[in-house]
Amino acid sequence: MGNNGQKTVRIAALADLHCTVDHKNQLGPLFTQIAEAADIMVLCGDLTDYGLPEEAHVLAHELSSASTIPTVAVLGNHDFESGKQQDVRHILADAGIHMLDGEACQIHDVGFAGAKGFCGGFGRATLSAWGEGAIKDFVQEALDESMKLEAALQRLRTPHRIAVLHYSPIRATVVGEPEEIFAFLGCSRLEDPLNRHQVTAVVHGHAHRGAAEGKTTAGVPVYNVGIPVLRAAHPDRPPFRLIELSPQGNESGTRRDSVVV
Ligand SMILES: [Fe+2]
Ligand SMILES: [Fe+2]
């Protein structure tokens, strides 16, 4: 229990499950552990391996082990591979998962804004919309995802706001991957809404060999919660990051969130 009798909210975040039909009865124990350790679970994309409805059905079944806590999720690029991303989304939504694609939801007074995001690179090396139509379309996709994130954040009035992405909004959490592919792992265009809306924390996946932690230019903590990243950082622990959010300290908006894992 925190200040004023309000409870601390524990969020378990992870990404890149890459669930296949072979994962049947394999993921349940992890989800049981999460339901015991946290109040809310967040899944940051690449929920399935090939974006197949049968993979989504297996995941939905496995997630029933965590049905005692609410789960929020965004899709990842793998969930688009078979062109059946809408089926994947619906199967998981029917299983009670809050699927976010430019939408927001509020659970236990914590706001979640989610979008898949897209790639395009970071900082001065961010790809700009110039030249061929294909390049302009590519850049537009990143802009559209950034606007989705912003629209979702705009709706939240909660003291704590968590942004849920698949792609990284900053360079720091993709470091560890080959530098040649940084531009395909995320995009700085996702960072601006996070800074302007002063989110409490950002969670993402996708960069399997990236770094676990970073910060936006405004100091917002960014966590790469890809399962391979978490396993590499803490081989002895189950692969999820626990984020503890204390009740808001005072009306001036001081946040006293502590990250435990
Ligand atoms: Fe992945
Ligand atoms: Fe991915």
Q: Which residue pairs from 134-142 have beta carbons closer than 8 angstroms and sit at least 24 positions apart in sequence? A: 142/117, 142/118, 142/187, 142/189, 142/190
Span 166-205, pLDDT tens digits: 999 999 999 999 999 999 999 999 999 999 999 999 999 9
Average pLDDT estimate for 66-91? 98
Distance (angstroms) between ligand 2 centre and the Cα of 22 equals 19
Distance (angstroms) between ligand 2 centre and the Cα of 253 equals 34
Give the three-class secondary structure for 250: coil
Distance (angstroms) between ligand 2 centre and the Cα of 180 equals 16
Distance (angstroms) between ligand 2 centre and the Cα of 45 equals 7
Distance (angstroms) between ligand 2 centre and the Cα of 37 equals 26
180/56 Cα distance (integer angstroms):
32
Cα distances (angstroms) measured from residue 36 to each of 19, 65, 69, 138: 22, 10, 9, 41
pLDDT in the model for residue 247: 82
Distance (angstroms) between ligand 1 centre and the Cα of 136 equals 25
- pLDDT cut 70: percent of the chain above it: 92
pLDDT in the model for residue 248: 67
pLDDT in the model for residue 190: 98
Of the listed ligands, the closest to the CA of 184 is 2
Of the listed ligands, the closest to the CA of 229 is 1
Distance (angstroms) between ligand 2 centre and the Cα of 145 equals 15
246/5 Cα distance (integer angstroms):
11
Give the three-class secondary structure for 185: coil
Of the listed ligands, the closest to the CA of 81 is 2
Domains contained in the chain, number: 1
Q: Can you point out the beta strands (E) in the chain?
A: 9-14, 40-44, 71-74, 98-99, 103-107, 110-114, 160-164, 201-204, 213-215, 221-224, 241-245, 258-259
Q: Which domain holds residue 129?
A: 3-259
Cα distances (angstroms) measured from residue 238 to each of 34, 61, 139, 225: 9, 20, 37, 12
- Whole-structure pTM value: 0.93
The residue ranking higher by pLDDT, 249 or 57, is: 57
Distance (angstroms) between ligand 2 centre and the Cα of 254 equals 34
Of the listed ligands, the closest to the CA of 166 is 2
Distance (angstroms) between ligand 1 centre and the Cα of 77 equals 8
Reply yes or no on whether the pLDDT at 32 is more than 80.
yes
Report how far Cα 48 is from the mean position of its chain's Cα atoms. 14
Distance (angstroms) between ligand 1 centre and the Cα of 140 equals 23
CATH of the domain at 189: 3.60.21.10
By the 10 Å C-beta count (0-12 exposed, 13-18 middle, 19+ buried), 128 is classed as: exposed
